[in-house]
Amino acid sequence: MRPVSRLVALILVSLLAPRGAVAAPADTNVAATIRIALVGDSTVADYLKTGDIHRGWGQLFPEFVDTNHVTVQNFAVNGRSTKTFKKEGRWEKVLAFKPNYVFIQFGHNDSHAKDKPESTDAKTDYTSNLVGFVESAKAQGAVPILVTPMHRGKWTDDGHHLTQELLPYAEAMRAVANDERVPLVDLYAMSEKAFEAMTDDQLATIFAIPASDRTHFNEKGAHLLADMVVQEAGRLVPSLKAYLKSLPP
């Protein structure tokens, strides 16, 4: 029986040794894939890569992450506000994605005229909608990251300062971030500083159709905004920083 025992032992060694070298569950957990969800409106959304020069910063966002360890899903949709995104059941799809981090930017469509179905009041339903998004994300174990709406590229009469129609929504989002103790990427403030440092001709180069639309960006503008979001998010959320990268300008 001893020869048989030795044979069995040799077979076990030959089978187990290489399998042990290949299978390393502890190592796979060290660099596990994380999921990032992006939520917002047309300034965040994806567009067709051919035939459309519009770009949302969310479309450029994957270029700034380690795609070996990060899965990005852009849930942003043109024309949506906190109200309509919620009403259409889109937030439930975000939660079903089971994200580790959720970037949330709204305000442009929320600020529309009060007779529009997407319109919200900054101090009431806009605020309550944001709180709902934040608390449900946290309840599921995700880290919500609020992003204030970037400025539109419109000048006041003096030609040196940007208009402030989105300020109430930026301020409301800042208050929610403070009350809920969640990270805030203040894209409103950062874009104001960047845009006002440009001449009007320079500012025009970041919009898709600058002659008639100073809200929607081209690839250059979306890249600029995505870089702002990534850099600030990495600073505010240390656990996320390892998964982000910066590209040269």
* pLDDT 10s digits, 65-92: 999 999 999 999 999 999 999 999 999 9
Q: How far apart are CA 41 and CA 61, in angstroms?
A: 15
Residue 154 lies in a domain: yes
Q: Provide mean pLDDT across the span 97-102.
A: 98
Contact 148, 107 (CB under 8 A): yes
Q: In what order do the strands lie in the sheet with 34-39?
A: 70-74, 34-39, 101-104, 143-147, 184-185
Place of tokens 């990060």: 70
Range of the domain at 142: 31-241
Tally of structural domains, the chain: 1
Q: Provide mean pLDDT across the span 50-72.
A: 96
Residue 17 lies in a domain: no
Residue 13 lies in a domain: no
pLDDT at 159: 86
pLDDT at 204: 98
- On whether the pTM is more than 0.75, the answer is yes
Residue 9 lies in a domain: no
Place of tokens 């979306």: 222
Residue 11 lies in a domain: no
Q: How far apart are CA 196 and CA 168, in angstroms?
A: 19
Residue 247 lies in a domain: no
Contact 39, 75 (CB under 8 A): yes
Tens digits of per-residue pLDDT, 230-247? 999 999 999 999 999 865
Residue 191 lies in a domain: yes
* CATH code of residue 170: 3.40.50.1110
What value does the mean pLDDT of the chain take? 89
Place of tokens 């380690």: 66
pLDDT at 247: 52
